[in-house]
Amino acid sequence: MLYHREIAPSSAADALAVEQALSFCQSLAKKSPLPMFLRVQFQLALNNPWDLLQSSTHAWSAWYDGHSQECGLALGSSHELKLDSDTPYKIARIKSSGLREHSISLSPENSVIALPLSMGGFSFEASHSSMSGPWSAWSRNRIFVPEFMIWRKESLNSTVAVLNFLVSDKGAPSVQQVMSAVEQRRTQCSA
């Protein structure tokens, strides 16, 4: 289930959009046992995301598709979600497709780009996970959703950053925490 809202590119409008999106996510999270993610997208002036890996001190994972000229990078930690049973990979992917997300864009273009929440084949793992190495095989009953992801699509000549915030009936980040995280990542990626 994917929802998105286009918003104006001013910081006051951004904060209001984040506040409304968080409220919306919390209302949905109370009605379902499935995790809910608020996904905040913003454009980066970054032609080669791979450059970030040279100076990264965080755990990272990467994915590249030469045919479609797309790459995805996850930096830092991940939300680790355990499925109910130790299911085979295909069933795990079907179950993970039930994870709900609500995307908003903080880019001047106001457009939300459809991006995966988690990757099939390889997982974005948490650095504290019992799995070893960033290129670990897909875990049979765990889904890893990166907290911070960068996606580059050569065909669109654009680089999009995504912050994934877990929203549940037990709590959600504040508007200030979301806006601060966005600003911190923008600064990190422009340095």
What pLDDT, in 10s, does the model give residues 40-85? 888 888 878 877 777 766 777 777 777 878 888 888 777 777 666 5
Q: At residue 154, does pLDDT exceed 50?
A: yes
At 96, the pLDDT band (50, 70, 90 cuts) reads: low
Query: What pLDDT sits at residue 177?
Result: 92
Helix (H) or strand (E) holding 177: helix 175-190
What's the mean pLDDT when you consider all of the chain?
A: 71
Q: At residue 119, does pLDDT exceed 60?
A: no
Query: What pLDDT sits at residue 149?
Result: 87
Confirm if 59 and 127 have CB atoms less than 8 A apart. Answer: yes
Confirm if 95 and 83 have CB atoms less than 8 A apart. Answer: yes
- Domain with 44, as residue range(s), is 2-190
Query: What pLDDT sits at residue 98?
Result: 55
Q: At residue 4, does pLDDT exceed 50?
A: no
Residue type, 128: H
Spatial neighbors of 158 by CB under 8 A, at least 6 apart, are 43, 113, 152
Residues 128-145, mean pLDDT to the nearest whole number: 53
Q: How far apart are the first and last CA of the chain?
A: 35
Query: What pLDDT sits at residue 125?
Result: 42
Domain count along the chain: 1
